[in-house]
Structure 1
């Protein structure tokens, strides 16, 4: 037993020493100390003669010193040994290339290819050896002949990658499609690579080429896989209506689930393609035989319609809710629908008392913990709308306690903080927000950090917190959809608290309210004031991002938008808008979007 233990210790020490020497040899090579590298690699190769990489390290070191003759001598000796690695054919050929001897170079490259013809299992190591030397045509021949000889050797990924490096995009696309067809589990990987050669622009040359290849395949060998990839392409291009055509084909031909189509509806909503979203949701309602799916689709459709009402006439929306509750009674299956209806009563019809009564009835239903939490959060929100802060805090605190380790519990904590802030209890709000900065939900963490900074930054210089109280009041008015009153309260801050830290916050909130009212010139003026007068404050990146989007979407001035996005990219890398600004900037510049 003691002998075995000593042996294991000795082997461990040997492995550690070998690893250290390996690292030292590579360090010498990378630093250009090739003579030292040769000595180190020779020692390693003597101790481990089966490790061909050490021998190649010696050869490469001589090549870096332009001592090609010594490298040639070593290679020719090694290649004569029994069981010599076929990689040496490639290395020898490459050494002749370095000596400008193309005849001998091609001779040994051909030997490498012939070796794989007789021993297909060596195709991978020989092909990779060619790839490492950027001898892509030779590597391609190795992989293709291996596939032709035995289709079980799947080198489609290697072949596709080589075509991509050669710039033969059509063959690269086709090879990746062959890979997906052959091994569907590789679909996600292939899509990630293909996406690097596509843009969001459907008129881009590569996008058109990829679409044509998919359409041709779908005609020649119909398969739902091609419909899925066409849908994926159209989604990349934000052509949701065209993606919907493919998704309908998938659903009708074999996919019994509507989940893919439901996901498409959500993406359409997120990208403000309301027309397509309505069409998709209507289709789901018509085709589904699952009550839960119909209710979810109906909810989203009603929300879209609520947002489109401009005249304050909600009779049609009320009728739709009534019809849904006639068909689907108020119970645990319609909890989210009940919540939405209560919000509709409170925020659109301005009937908060009726909404509160309605939700209190919902609470009495047999609900699980998460359903109950959802209803209590909605109830708390409406109580805040009515400025019944203490009652709201009771419900939020109940949810926080019941689901303290859940995202819903963290959302409840944030609502506790926000409600305390509305009522002027800034110290307690800040205490709650400190905890939320490390929330697992990035959205909650960002919101918490933003609100905490507003409170802390504007509490130091004004012990009475007069301006902060006005700002919180404006924030509450905005939440209550009293936009005019909120804008006026913010104007009071801007006029009577000049020079205080709250000023840029007031300008930003006021600009956002102007945008909601489609008063884009006023919003732009506020953003410019922040950029000009508060360029060193933390909100300047928000102003840059907002004004960039204004120029892009409302003023049809992409060049100016690009300039503002560029400002974030080069001068505000720590901004939460950095990634989105980078994407927008690259798209405007015409780059390929990964």
Structure 2
């Protein structure tokens, strides 16, 4: 008997589910008569189920059977006594333009909260579903006044945003963050939709003024945190640094936030402020690892922007650090950086190799040893001693299998083979790397594989591809001018080959690295004009837009180029960033 009951319940539940799917499908297709037939059956079988009640009401309204909807709602209110249905009854009058009757029901619904405030959320949701935002706000505010334990601050913030009441929205989000610090990341994401990179944007100004006012009234690191975050969005890292120092002065446990700010500024090529922040960390830190990391990043920054006449000072700094902190495993990253500086900037490869061979003798972990060998391999590639470099790269793959650095070593094997013209072996290694766990590594491997595959059959001697590989090697060797010259040879002598677009892009990037933006612009324009249907078009649009925006101060032209990516290259890796920049240039108040 029990089994029979269970079986009947199962069959009944299954039938309801099937009918529900059918009813939804009819409603979605606009076949409201059929949908009504199904929803009536569902309602009859389960007369208290809101999943059937609400769609049944909507279906009546779509068919303009307002009297039937009214009768149903009145019956429900008498039977279930559920005040949120008063909102639905009021809306049923509103869509018939019976506004007085509608408002009577809305007021009745809101008044019912005096008897039971627990209906507030459902009632507010019904108001919001019908875009009755003022009534939604009234419900939330009244509920919180009746029961201070209820907190609808977040919901109110969202409603204020929908209304365009930006100041109230920001204030509500900030108030919610103050009481719910664990949700700060979510709050920042919500606020981010209403601000832009433009510090003069009206919303940015409102948000900043609210926070400064809060800071003046009641010092709290939360206000500093949000101000710092705002300044970072605006790429005003100097002002963000002031806020981060204020936070650290009140909570001096860790410099991690300030380190992260320095890294962000470095990535954005804001070298002056990045240098200032790293120097502050060096002066402030009581932790040796933090200090060494700051020195490492500071020297990387200084090396990247240094002229040859500054190299002597940089080398002296390295030697002073080794004298102060010693040559041991804790400074191995600095040792690798120093060897790289000697080889790639001062062209003292023998000195660099000799130095790293001493580093290998230190008690290093397997991963640390792999990093040293990776640099030794790179120095050998710099000298075009490819076979010797491959020995180091292969050792890394064997000794630290399935690690990120092992995948990096395999990519360098492929790159070294590519440099010396062994495209077949390079391809075999790149094929393996396409499935790399590191997305960046997989993308780099795919890009190089496509370059080889797309160009190796065009010319049996592979002349253009070999020249391009040579230009790539010269770039790796910091011989930018020579690389540009080689690429010119390709552009001049191989005009009909598919590698031309790649050569134009590579050369444009090299021009940019030398701040020759007009030359870079010419190349990007040539790609857009002649290869707009190729896979590099979006690269050219995005890079050219950045030049117009950041270097040539022509925002209208930049906006038009970002627009090309948005409408014609929706699958581009630049799509999201292009859309963000386009909207900022268009002056959108809300993203």
TM-score higher than 0.5: yes
- Aligned partner of 2:427 in structure 1 is 430
**In structure 2, what is the equivalent of residue 349 of structure 1?**
346
Moved more, 539-548 or 293-302: 539-548
| CA 518–95 in structure 1, closer or farther in 2 if over 3 Å, else same | closer
Identify which of 455, 460, 484 aligns with 1:458: 455
Output aligned runs, 1:532-551, within 5 Å: 532-551=529-548
Question: Alignment partner for residue 210 of structure 2, among 209, 213, 235?
Answer: 213
Q: Deviations over 1:345-401 (max 9, x none)?
A: 111111111111111211121111221121111111111101111111111122223
Q: Is the 8 A contact 2:84 2:119 kept in 1?
A: no
What pairs with 1:299-448 in structure 2 (closer than 5 Å)?
299-448=296-445
Equivalences, count = 591
Deviates more, 1:361-370 or 1:516-525: 516-525
Q: Distance in 2 between matches of 1:19 and 1:28?
A: 14
Cα offset, 1:405, TM superposition: 2.1
Q: Secondary structure at the match of 1:333?
A: helix
* 1:4 positional shift: 5.4
Residue 552 of structure 1: how far off its partner (Å): 2.5
Q: Given the alignment, which residue of 581, 585, 588 partners 2:585?
A: 588
- Per the alignment, do residues 128 and 371 of structure 1 end up closer, same or farther by CA in structure 2, a change over 3 Å counting? same
* Separation of aligned partners in 2, 1:497 and 1:478: 20
SS, match of residue 583 in structure 1: helix
Q: What does residue 477 of structure 2 align with? A: 480
Structure-1 residue corresponding to 2:495:
498
1:259 to 236, 253, 256: 256
Residue number in structure 2 paired with 1:80: 78
Q: Which residue of 2 aligns with 1:38?
A: 36
Tell me how far 1:35 sits from its aligned partner. Answer: 2.4
C-alpha separation between the residues in 2 aligned to 1:65 and 1:227?
A: 55
SS of 1:313's equivalent? helix
Change beyond 3 A, Cα 1:126–1:361? same
Aligned to 1:561: 558
CA contact (8 A) 2:487 2:507 kept: yes
Residues 37, 61 of structure 1: 8 Å contact kept: yes
CA contact (8 A) 2:281 2:294 kept: yes
- Counterpart Cα distance in 1 of 2:590 and 2:525: 29
Greater shift, 506-515 or 345-354, is seen at 506-515
Answering whether residue 12 of structure 2 is matched by residue 14 of structure 1, we say yes
Q: What is the CA distance between 1:593 and its match in structure 2?
A: 6.7
| Structure 1 residue 412, shift from structure 2 partner | 1.3
- Comparing 151-160 with 200-209, greater Cα deviation is found at 151-160
1:159 maps to 156
Cα distance, 1:7 vs structure 2:
4.9
- State the 1:5 CA deviation: 5.5
Instruction: Check conservation: 1:42, 1:55, Cα contact below 8 A.
Output: no
Tell me how far 1:562 sits from its aligned partner: 2.4
Cα distance in 1 between the residues matched to 2:265 and 2:518? 28
Q: How far apart in 2 are the matches of 1:587 and 1:184?
A: 29
Check 1:352–1:5 CA distance in 2 against 1; reply closer, same or farther (3 A cut).
farther
Q: Is the CA contact 2:202–2:589 (under 8 Å) kept in the aligned structure 1?
A: no
In the superposition, the TM-score normalised over structure 1's length comes to 0.95
Taking the aligned partners of 1:232 and 1:501, their CA distance within structure 2 comes to 45
> Do structure 1's residue 234 and structure 2's residue 207 form an aligned pair?
no
1:314-366 CA-partner distances (Å, limit 9, x unpaired): 12111211111111111111111111111111111111111111112111211
Find the residue that maps to 1:299 and give its secondary structure: helix
Q: Shift of residue 239 of structure 1?
A: 0.9
> Structure 1 pair 14/200, CA: closer, same or farther in 2 (3 Å)?
same
1:9 CA drift (Å): 4.8
Tell me if structure 2 keeps the 8 A contact 1:52–1:85: no
Greater mean deviation of Cα atoms: 554-563 or 426-435: 554-563
Over residues 400-445 of structure 1, what are the superposed CA-to-partner deviations in whole Å (9 max), with x where a residue is unaligned?
A: 2333322222111111110110111100101111122232323222
- The answer on whether the counterparts of 2:468 and 2:503 sit within 8 Å (CA) in structure 1 is yes
Q: Work out whether residues 562 and 581 of structure 2, in 8 Å CA contact, stay in contact via their aligned partners in 1.
A: yes
In structure 1, what is the Cα distance between the partners aligned to 2:229 and 2:401?
A: 38
1:60 aligns with 2:65: no
Extract structure 1 runs of 4+ deviating beyond 6 A: none
What is the distance in 1 between the residues matched to 2:158 and 2:540? Answer: 42
Deviations 1:450-471 (A, max 9, x none): 1111111111122221221122
d(CA) in 1 for partners of 2:13, 2:483: 71
Cα gap change, 1:75 to 1:511, in 2 (>3 Å): closer
Residue aligning to 1:23: 21
Q: Deviations over 1:34-82 (max 9, x none)?
A: 222222112112222221342232222222222222222222222122x
Confirm or deny that 1:112 pairs with 2:104.
no
Q: Secondary structure at the match of 1:238?
A: coil
The alignment partner of 1:405 has SS state of: coil
1:590 is displaced (CA, Å) by 1.9
Distance 1:541 1:431 in 2: 28
Any idea what SS the aligned residue of 1:475 has?
helix
What CA distance in whole angstroms lies between the structure 1 residues aligned with 2:306 and 2:357?
28
Stretches of structure 1 lacking an aligned partner (at least 5 in a row): none
| TM-score (ref. length: structure 2) | 0.96
Gap change, CA 1:98 and 1:467, over 3 Å in 2? closer
Of the structure 1 ranges 71-80 and 315-324, higher mean CA displacement relative to structure 2 is found in: 71-80
Residues 236-245 or 400-409, more deviating: 400-409
Does the CA-based 8 Å contact 1:583-1:593 persist in structure 2?
no
Matched, 1:223 2:220: yes
Give the root-mean-square deviation of aligned CA atoms.
1.8
In 1: Cα distance, 2:93 partner to 2:524 partner: 65
| CA distance in structure 1 between the partners assigned to 2:407 and 2:4 by the alignment | 55
Deviates further, 577-586 or 283-292: 577-586
What is the CA distance between 1:10 and its match in structure 2?
A: 4.4
